[in-house]
Structure 1
Amino acid sequence: MTTTSIPGTHGVCRDDFEPVRHELERTLASGEELGASICVTVDGEPVVDIWGGYTDAARTSAWERDTLVNVFSITKTMTALSALLLVDRGLLDLDESVAHYWPEFASNGKADIEVRHLLSHTSGVSGWERPIELEDIYDHESAAARLAEQSPWWEPGTASGYHAINYGHLIGEVIRRVDGRSLGRFFAEELAGPLGADFHIGTDPAHFDRIAPIVPPPPAEFDMSALDPDSIMIKTLTSPLLDYARTSDAAWRQAEIGGVNGHGNARSIARLQSIVSNSGVLDGRNWLSDRTIDSIFRQQADGLDLALMVPLRFGIGFGLPHAQTAPAVPEGRVCWWTGIGGSFVVNDLDRRVTFAYAMNKMSPQIIGSERADAYLRAAFGVVS
């Protein structure tokens, strides 16, 4: 391992992974990247753990080793991992109805929706019925209760419709009904704490001074108001509308929103997700059995996603490789996901590699970014 001291980048990078460090240096120097961290693990051990740039748009505060950032939908992979722990313990059945654990969810045509449908975005419940405001989802129990009362927006199990904001409310409520603890507490006590991972679903104010504020992307070039307000896409993405400016509010940071408000960095993402890339074993502990790991790769949907309007493949809890939508994700026994703006995680079980990337300057793409693709290609170019 070599320790880097080049201005703008810090951390450790094994010699053969130098292309990853060079790519981060390039994007930082060009201004494409403001501040970011990248971590790559092999067999659960970090071979890349680097960071650089700034935490603020004015470039007055350096991105440090322990800087945190809102990684948006990377949080979903932590929520899924939490649910898979309960599956592995025999407390949660992927093929059981959600209503078996959460009886109120059976109302209005949802009695046959299964747990796997929630984890694969195929439940038909991809958002809240209007009216709903962003602050309404900070209260998990009332927000989950509203979802339980709704009718599905399409026939469950027939297609994916990305559960953009409500993923953690749905799965988190199932976890609460099974275990008694909230999602954030379960995750902290069963995963983040035991693994020493600095990742939070519901972030304590004690960590606020380490959080790099999000720098939003340029405004969308198309007029959302010209689209059908009752389409699945518009209802999913605007009920409620994610306001990036609000993500620096204390109320947002402290809420347990298991779909979109996890705070961490590349190191903590890679640490936790290495459970998957190591086929369930990490630090000598069997976290997940082979059977539970295999369930991740049970394909649940392959086609045009009804909410994002791009083609996607979903297993259980993760996306599966898709050459068109995620061209830098390698083929094979691989699962992945991304956070809006560009944060990224890939678990490659064939090579026992986890790649993680977190940043504060958002890209305008819905799925990944050109920066993320460049880092991915640099990393997997070494191990392929």
Structure 2
Amino acid sequence: MSDTPQIHGRVEPGFEALREVFTTNFTDRGDIGASLAIYVDGRPVMDLWGGQADPGTGRPWTEDTVALVYSATKGVTATLVNRLVEQGTLDLLAPVADYWPDFGKAGKEHVTVTQLLSHQAGLPVPAEPLTRQELIDGTPVLDVLCRQSPLWEPGTAHGYHALTFGWLVGELVRRATGSTLGALVREQIADPLGLSLWIGLPQDRNSSVAPLINGRPDPAALDSITDPEVKQLALQVVAAVSDPDSLLSRTLSTNGALPTPEASTWNDERIWAAEQPAANGITNARALARMYAACVGEVDGVRLLSEDAVSTARAEQVQGPDEVTIGESRFGIGYQLPTHAAPLLGEGSFGHAGAGGALGFGNVTSRVGFGYVQNQLGASLIGEPRTAALIDALGGVLA
């Protein structure tokens, strides 16, 4: 059990239970530095931060601290793409090759924008080995992905494109707009809402980043799982993660060149500066909560997606066993949707979690925008106990 850190920020009356859980995440669940923010009906009801941004130097987590959020980045990318769909720049039913002719090779000619955004394209990992520098540069991996054939017939199955999602969607957006996805996120999302949010971090912001800290596996975690089905799934995941040749391991590490989650790999200013719209977003809880709040309603005069656009974005495209992650996954247009393992706030929810713990989501029923960002990477086999506790408390407050 850790010492209780000083928690800063504000909480509206009625939401005090969330502050207590946020504090307990430090004392009982391993948090070192973190931020939590919640919007309801377009206004902030909670904006908290605390702990240490960098235990090595003693630097505290402040109001301006940001961290790399791994796949919570995909929720930002999905928001930008769904804006482009609403603006008529992208057609969800069109083949990706209409925008990016080189993509339409080796059995990918008819892969649609929707299939790409819902992990149906069969391209979860490059078929050829690439160095870390080639992955940071981006163009070499795009060349490989264009040449290769899908691992399954596109549209017949789905499997989590943990990192390739970013290179593929980023290039689709560049071909359709002439601008990089990171630049459009600044122009259309971050700047209008005043967010500390980047996909491609400017060098002058490096000092505000909290370095990631590797998770601490609990050897008793498997023994604590009492549900036989959940335990069997956990054992399968452990086996796959332990096998460097499994599709899961190859996908999460890009054939070993970019291990995820692995703090030392991603605490690299070259990676912060690159644009990897699947995994290298750098932000804080306030930005995620405010962005999702502006998807489900208006925030200070800004609305990112219309009600119809949100309905399209969160319409289920795939559900069921995931070819990569083994367990159940469920996707709309770029967004994760609620599952049994991660119910969020129910069927009105849409968003994206990041490996290690970060989470952002919105809910159209309760008109909530939620954001949680941390530096201590979680090591849970199934689910993330810190966010689960926070969401349980939020559900109780809203009931």
What's 1:32 paired with? Answer: 30
SS at match of 1:251: helix
What is the alpha-carbon distance in structure 1 between the residues aligned to residue 176 and residue 218 of structure 2? 41
Structure 2 equivalent of residue 318 of structure 1: 335
Q: Distance in 1 between matches of 2:241 and 2:248?
A: 12
User: How far apart are the structure 2 equivalents of 1:80 and 1:284?
Assistant: 21
Distance in 1 (alpha carbons) for counterparts of 2:394 and 2:332:
24
SS of the residue corresponding to residue 80 of structure 2 reads helix
1:350 aligns with 2:362: no
Which SS does the other structure have where 1:107 is aligned? coil
Please list every run of at least 4 consecutive aligned residues from structure 1 whose deviation after the TM superposition is greater than 4 angstroms: 219-226
**Residue number in structure 2 paired with 1:336:** 351
Q: How does 1:133-144 map to 2 (within 5 A)?
A: 133-144=131-142
Tell me the equivalent position of 1:171.
169
Displacement after TM superposition at 1:368 (Å):
4.4
Q: Which structure 2 residue ranges, 5 or more long, are not aligned?
A: 220-237
Please, which of 238, 261, 264 is the counterpart of residue 245 of structure 1? Answer: 264
CA contact 2:192–2:302 (8 Å) conserved in 1: no
Stretch moving more, 293-302 or 216-225: 216-225
Partner in structure 2 of residue 71 of structure 1: 69
Q: 1:152-301 alignment to 2 at 5 Å?
A: 152-218=150-216, 222=238, 227=243, 229=245, 231-239=246-254, 240-242=257-259, 243-278=262-297, 281-301=298-318
**2:385 is the alignment partner of 1:370:** yes
Q: Distance in 2 between matches of 1:365 and 1:7?
A: 23
**Which letter maps to 1:320?**
L
Q: 1:184 to 1:32 in 2, by over 3 A?
A: same
Please list, as runs of the form range in 1=range in 2, the aligned pairs for 1:1-40 lying within 5 A after superposition.
8-30=6-28, 32-40=30-38
**Deviation at residue 304 of structure 1 after TM alignment:** 1.0
Partners of 1:225 and 1:275 lie apart in 2 by: 37
Shift of 1:142: 3.1
Matches within 5 A, 1:110-149: 110-149=108-147
Distance 2:304 2:14 in 1: 30
Q: Aligned equivalents of 1:367 and 1:338: distance in 2?
A: 13
Per the alignment, do residues 195 and 368 of structure 1 end up closer, same or farther by CA in structure 2, a change over 3 Å counting?
Answer: farther
Aligned equivalent of 1:303: 320
Q: 1:60 to 1:25 in 2, by over 3 A?
A: same
- Per the TM alignment, residue 205 of structure 1 is displaced from its structure 2 partner at its CA by 1.3
CA contact (8 A) 1:8 1:52 kept: yes
Contact 1:342 1:365 in 2 (8 A): no
CA distance, structure 2, for counterparts of residue 104 and residue 366 of structure 1: 38
Alignment root-mean-square deviation, CA: 2.0
SS in 1 for 2:10: strand
Cα distance in 1 for partners of 2:216, 2:91 equals 42
- Cα shift at 1:283: 3.0
| Distance change in 2, residues 1:226/1:258 (3 Å) | closer
Q: 1:42 aligns with which of 20, 32, 40?
A: 40
Helix, strand or coil at the partner of 2:44: strand
With over 3 angstroms needed to count, the CA separation of the structure-2 counterparts of 1:367 and 1:148, relative to structure 1, is: farther
1:47-66 mapped onto 2 (5 Å cutoff): 47-58=45-56, 60-66=58-64
**Structure 2 SS opposite 1:337:** strand
> Which string of whole-angstrom CA distances, capped at 9 and with x for unpartnered residues, describes residues 21-51 of structure 1?
1111122234621010000001121100001
SS in 1 for 2:176: helix
Distance across 1 between alignment mates of 2:181 and 2:100: 15
Tell me, yes or no, if the aligned pair for 2:17 and 2:393 is still in contact at 8 Å. yes
Q: Cα–Cα, structure 1 residues 61 and 368, in superposed 2: closer, same or farther, change >3 Å?
A: farther
Aligned-pair identity (%)? 34
TM-superposed deviation, 1:284:
2.8
Rounded to whole Å, the distance in 2 between the matches of 1:172 and 1:257 is 8
> Which shows bigger deviation, 149-158 or 363-372?
363-372
Structure 1 residues 367 and 132, CA, compared in 2 at 3 Å: closer, same or farther?
farther
Tell me: CA distance 1:97–1:332, structure 2 relative to 1, closer, same or farther (3 Å): same
User: Structure 1 residues 220, 19: closer, same or farther in 2, change over 3 A?
Assistant: closer
Deviation (angstroms), 1:224: 5.6
- CA distance in structure 2 between the partners assigned to 1:73 and 1:366 by the alignment: 17
**CA contact under 8 A between 1:153 and 1:232: conserved in structure 2?**
no
Q: Deviations over 1:35-90 (max 9, x none)?
A: 10000001121100001111123472211001010011011111111111110111
Question: 2: CA distance between counterparts of 1:342 and 1:91?
Answer: 33
* Structure 1 residue identity aligned to 2:345: P
Q: Check the 8 A contact 2:119/2:161 in 1, yes or no.
A: yes
Amino acid at match of 2:374: M
Contact 1:57–1:215 (CA<8 Å) still a contact in 2? no
Deviations along 1:264-322, whole A, 9 cap, x unmatched?
000011111222222xx443345323332111222111111111111111111111111
SS at match of 1:138: helix
* Structure 2 partner of 1:3: none
User: Match for 1:293: what amino acid?
Assistant: V
Structure 1 distance, partners of 2:239, 2:43, is 46
Q: Residues 220, 183 of structure 1: CA spacing in aligned structure 2 closer, same or farther, 3 A cutoff?
A: farther
